[in-house]
Every structure is written in C-alpha cells, then in structure tokens.
Structure 1
Amino acid sequence: MNPNDEHSHHQHADDGAGSQEFEAGESHDHTDIDETSTHKLALVAGINFVGFVVELAGGLLFGSVALISDAFHMLFDMLAYVMAFSASYAAERFDRGDEWSYGLHRLEPVAAFLNGILLVPMVGYIVWEAYKRFLEPASINAELTLVIATGGLLVNIGSVFVLQGGEMSLNERGAFYHLLGDAGGSVAVIVSTLAVSVLDMPVADPLAAVLIGLLVLWSAGKVLVESTSIFLQHSPMSMATLRDEVTNIDAVASVEDIHVWQVCSQLTVATVQVQTTSNSADEQQQLRATVHETLADAGINHITVEIIGPSNVQSTEHRQHSH
C-alpha cells in the first residue's frame, strides 16, 4: 500500500492452510498531516518574503550591514520554506503505483539537506561583509534601522506562531530552527543599533552580523545532521531498548532480526523476525498482534513481523499502524 493512501491496521497470517486478512476499525489519512505542514510552510514563506524585502531596503538605505545580513538570512530561509513545502506538496499528491513503495516522502529529507547546504555560503557572505565593516566602520541611520529590525523580529514571532501546535515534521523543524536564527538575528540588530546610537560604537553593527552568521551555522548543522541520519538509515530510537521490549513478550524465545529506519520524519519503518516457543497458529497470531502493538507504541508507523515457530515453519505478517 502506498503511504500516500489511507492507512489501516492489516493482518496477514499464513497458518499453512492459506492466508487470512483482518482489518481493524482505526484509520488515519496521512495526507491530512502533510497538507497541514504544506500550508504552514507556504504561509511562513510568504511572511518571510515580505520581511526580506523590507529589511534589505532598509539596510541599503540606512547603511546597516547587520540589517542587510539579517535580510539575506530571511531570503535564504524563504527559499528553504519554498523548497520544503514544494517537497511536501509533491509527496502528498504523488501516486504512481507499487513501484514507488513510499511515494515521494523521501523528498522531505532531500529538501531539508539542501536547505542546510544553502545556509553555508550565506554564512561566508555575512562574515565577509562584517570583516569589511570592521576595517572601515560606517555610520548608520540608527532610528530607522531600529524600527525595521523590530519589524523583522515581529515577522519571526508571527512565523513561529504559525508553526506551533502539534508534532512538527522535519521540514517544519528545519523552518523552526531557521526562525530561531532569524529572531536571534533581529535581536542582535536591535542591540547593535542601540549600541551604535547610545554608546557610539560603530563596531557593534558588524559584530552583530557575525553573531547572526554563527546562528545561521548552528541551524544549518541541526538540519544537516537530522537529514543525513535519515539518508544513512540511522535508527531514530534505541535498538537495544526495542529488542528488550520484544524479547520480554510472553512466548518470545528470541529476537532473531530487527531493523528500524525512517523514510521521512513522519514515517518510521521496522521489520522484525521473532522466534517463538509455540506451535499454535492462534498463539502465533496473537504474538504477531502483541509485537506489532509494542513497536507501534514506540512510535513506529509501518511494521512487518515474521514469526518462526519451533518447527521452523515461518509465518509472516505485514501491517501498517496509523500515523
């Protein structure tokens, strides 16, 4: 079943006499989650585009390199949001058959990784502009710069408010980290502008730009680590803990094999092979249900369980947990 479609609990049992399928009543449309994420990211992108235009114009007009740096921070963040919601939009509407086992959900970590990469050259630009301003300090229009920087901070706060509520996807978390950097940048511009106007410290403007660059680098690192972990199929949870939880289930002799990985931040997949002490088909079926629920309670969405009886007659089950 394509994860883009509506999900249900399914149980397929092979008891030596054929296959049986059982469907429980609980279901959930994953597309609802994706569409909510897409709409949030689109709205944040629009808000930040307005903030970018205002801050860039103000920085150029009033001579603040910190404000210009914060404006470009907003620009790259806006591009990041566009890439993020474009990936989410494509994933939620893609349905090309069984050849694409998980649709286009992998676009989410791809977009997140590219967003992180885009931030790196921006840091170089910010540091370079700050370096030049350290060498040749310039005066700025402190009053108007302060007004625009405060407006930028309000834009960031409004964007954070849009993203708040419920569990955030990887792209939403990436956007959230961007916004934290943006908010910190706006605060840095406000503080530096006050330092320039009140304390007559022109060096405060490029210093604030460097601080913004460090915030950007931090947010880029967070997104890159998370998306790379998904690419390399690093388990998002403790394998030892999962193995212990399954091993402690009654009638489980041993856990022969277990794998957990993520397709995207909202779709975790697991396969597990369990050796049981029981030859009873009914008991093996009950064991499948217990193993499935144990893994589902741990936050895994798509689960395949294989049961091996004492006589080495294998029984398999493939079920999806709602997410």
Structure 2
Amino acid sequence: MSSSHGPTHDHPHPPEHSHRRTLNAAHEHLFLGDNHERNERRTWLVIAITTTMMVVEIAAGNLFGSMALTADGWHMSTHAAAMLIAALAYLYARKHANNRRFSFGTGKLGDLAGFASAVVLALIALLIGWESFLRFQSPVSINFKEAIIVAVVGLIVNLVCAWLLKDDHHHGHDHGHEHKQKVGQDQNLRAAYLHVLADALTSVLAIGALVFASFYGWLWLDPTIGIVGAFVIARWSWGLIRDTGGVLLDYVSEGEDLPEEIQEILVKEGAEIVDLHIWQLGPGHHGAIVSIVVDHPHAPSYYRAKLAAIHDLSHVTVEVEARAA
C-alpha cells in the first residue's frame, strides 16, 4: 500500500513569508522559496537601476566621444540581460504555481534560470579574458581620470544592487548549518547577485589598476587585472553551474542529511528502507519516495505523520509492505 501528499496552504497564491510544511491530505504543489515575491521585486528594481545606468553611460559616451563610458555601458547591458532571465523566471514560476500540469510545481524554475545565468556569466568571463589578452598585444591609450570616474560610479551602482540582492535568509547562522543554507538557497537570486558582484569586482580591480597605471605608467597592469578578474568570475560561474545542475539532475549532495533523518525516524518504527529517492522541489523544499518493509505495518499515513517532523520535507510518498515470513 502506498500514499502520497503535499503541504497545505491557506492562500490561493504563494505567501510572501513562509510556507507550511505540514504533510496532510491537501495536494497542492506550492514549492516556491520563502521570499519569492520579495526577491522578484528586488530583481526588477536592480534591472531598472542597471538599465538606467547603462543608457546614461552609452548616451554620455556618444555625446562626449568617450569610449570608456560607451564600453562600460554595453558591458552593463550583458548583466542586465542576464538578470532579466532571473526576473522572468520569478514571474513565470509565480504565475504558474497552481498549474497542475507541473507535476511538482514550479519551484525548480529558479535553478533552471540560475543555470542559464551561470552560462552567461561564463561567457562574460571569457570575453573579459579575451579582451584583456588582446590589450597585451595592442595596448590602447587610457584617459585615466575619466576611466577612474566611470569605474567608481559603476562600483557604487553595483554595491547598491548587490545589497538589494543579498539573500539575508541564510546568513548569520553557525557553520554547523552551512549545508542547510546552501540547500535552501534561492539559486536564481544567487545568479543575479553574482552578476552584480562580478561587475563590482571588475570595477574594483579596474580602479586599482588605473590608479597604479596613472602613477607609474604601467599600462600592462590593466589587462593583467582583467585576466585575474576573468578567472575569478569563471570560478563563480562554475560553482553556480555545479550547484544548479545538481538540482536539475536531482543530485543529493554528500552533505545532505535528509536520508539520515528519514532513516532515523523510520528505524525507530521498526521499518527497513528498501528504496529511497530524494530530490529538491524548490528553495527549502524537498520531495521523497520511500519504500519500507516492516513486520507489523501501519497505514502509510502513520509513517507520513512521523516524517512530518522533518522541516525540509514538503512532499512525500510512502510505500509499505509486510516483511515476508
């Protein structure tokens, strides 16, 4: 005998703050992150700020004949486009949260968007590295004063955007919960945050390189710093690809303790797990299919009630069989 169920929600739409993890008969599949709507609003706000800065820089660059302003404006456009992926993913996931054709809800759409954004981030790192390499071969003259001003303004804008996109939900805890933070993290927000952080890093490195180059005439320092920045951004991109790809492929990381929690609860009930599947449904939400054998079996609802104590387990299917004599 088997039975499955999902959490019950009192609202027709995903609530802003927290999702109830009770495992009872209602079969809704609302597996969005706790701060989905807040993160969506902040992402759109960051896009508005970035796009405004982009338009101002490109317009000023064309008006004053500044390649530094124009180039930085077009550079910001790539990050604005990547963050648009995140914003549209939030919007689509929220609008279709109650669409039953999505068998397990739309919570993983953020991981799909995060994966796409990570690929874009990798391409940006590649372009920065390639452009820096070309500058080694063909150095260009730099208007240091203008370039430093552009980099400082860009840094301020990016720091404001990074503050807006910072995921406070998983900060301020001890290291013992580090993996739990990572599992429940909104990877879509993380992708947008890394795009802004990459732009901020580029600005910081550029300011340092430009200041030293203006004092000592080290024109080679600018492309060198560019290559260093490209490697750092590429590393962030790889981490995001690894984590979001793992979620999309239903990979259970080695540090995930849900299998042990399920095992501990069911063993106390005299049950032996013969098959167990765990996967992530959305930020902070997991699903599980558990097959057990037991000498004196109860109804599946009995074991589901026991597993309800696991906070991150939002949807579970239990299959129960009597142990063969």
* TM-score of the aligned structures, taking structure 2 as reference length: 0.76
Identity of aligned residues (%): 23
- The CA distance in 1 between the partners of 2:227 and 2:290, in whole Å, is 49
* 1:290 correspondence with 2:321: no
Correspondence for 1:203 among 220, 241, 248: 220
Give CA deviations for 1:196-253 in whole Å, capped at 9, x if unaligned: 11111111222222223223312221221122112211025246524542344x2233
Among candidates 287, 308, 320, match of residue 321 of structure 2 = 308
Q: CA–CA distance in 2 between the matches of 1:96 and 1:251?
A: 35
* Equivalent position amino acid for 2:252 in 1: S
8 Å CA contact retained: 1:38, 1:85? yes
Give the secondary structure class of the aligned counterpart of 1:228.
helix
Offset, 1:54: 5.1
Unaligned runs of 5+ in 1: 13-20, 22-27, 313-323
Q: Does 1:184 align with 2:187?
A: no
Give me the whole-angstrom Cα distance separating, in 2, the residues matched to 1:94 and 1:11: 22
State the Cα distance separating 1:59 from its structure 2 match.
7.8
State how far apart, in whole Å, the 2-side matches of 1:99 and 1:29 are.
14
Aligned equivalents of 2:214, 2:199: Cα separation in 1: 22
- For residues 192 and 291 of structure 1, the distance between their equivalents in structure 2, rounded to whole angstroms, comes to 56
**Corresponding position: 1:273 with 2:291:** yes
Q: Which residue of 1 aligns with 2:174?
A: none
Partners of 1:286 and 1:96 in 2: CA distance? 28
Aligned counterpart, 2:275: 257
Q: 1:95 to 1:264 in 2, by over 3 A?
A: closer
User: After the TM superposition, which residues 40-55 of structure 1 pair with which residues of structure 2 at under 5 Å, given as runs?
Assistant: 40-53=42-55
Give the match for residue 84 of structure 1.
Answer: 86
Structure 1 distance, partners of 2:76, 2:284, is 26
Q: Does 1:241 align with 2:260?
A: yes
Unaligned stretches of 5+ in structure 2? 1-5, 171-184
The answer to whether residue 184 in structure 2 is matched with residue 166 in structure 1 is no
Compare relative contact order (CA 8 Å, sep 6+) and give the higher one, 1 or 2: 2
The change in CA–CA distance for 1:99 and 1:241 in structure 2 (over 3 A counts) is same
Distance verdict in 2 for CA 1:56–1:205, change over 3 Å:
farther
State the Cα RMSD in Å.
3.4
Partner amino acid, structure 1, of 2:214: S
Letter in 2 for 1:304: T
CA distance in 1, matches of 2:81, 2:250: 27
Q: Which moved more, 1:179-188 or 1:93-102?
A: 93-102
- 8 Å Cα contact 2:191/2:240 also seen in 1: yes
Contact 1:279–1:311 (CA under 8 A) maintained in structure 2 = no
Larger Rg: 1
Number of the residue aligned with 2:182: none
Of Structure 1 and Structure 2, the greater strand share is in 1
Query: Kindly tell me: are residues 80 and 264 of structure 1, through their superposed partners in 2, closer, same or farther at Cα, counting changes over 3 Å?
Result: farther
| Whole-angstrom CA distance in 2 between matches of 1:51 and 1:212 | 22
Q: Which amino acid aligns with 1:129?
A: E
Greater shift after overlay, 165-174 or 190-199? 165-174
SS in 2 for 1:166: helix
Q: Deviations over 1:66-125 (max 9, x none)?
A: x94x65553222111111110110111116743322344443222222212223333332
Instruction: Give 1:292 shift.
Output: 2.6
Decide which moves more: 118-127 or 74-83.
118-127
Distance in 2 between residues matched to 1:279 and 1:131, nearest whole Å: 68
In structure 1, distance between residues paired with 2:301 and 2:66: 72
- Paired with 2:207 and 2:58, the residues of 1 have a C-alpha distance of 15
Paired position in structure 2 for 1:315? none
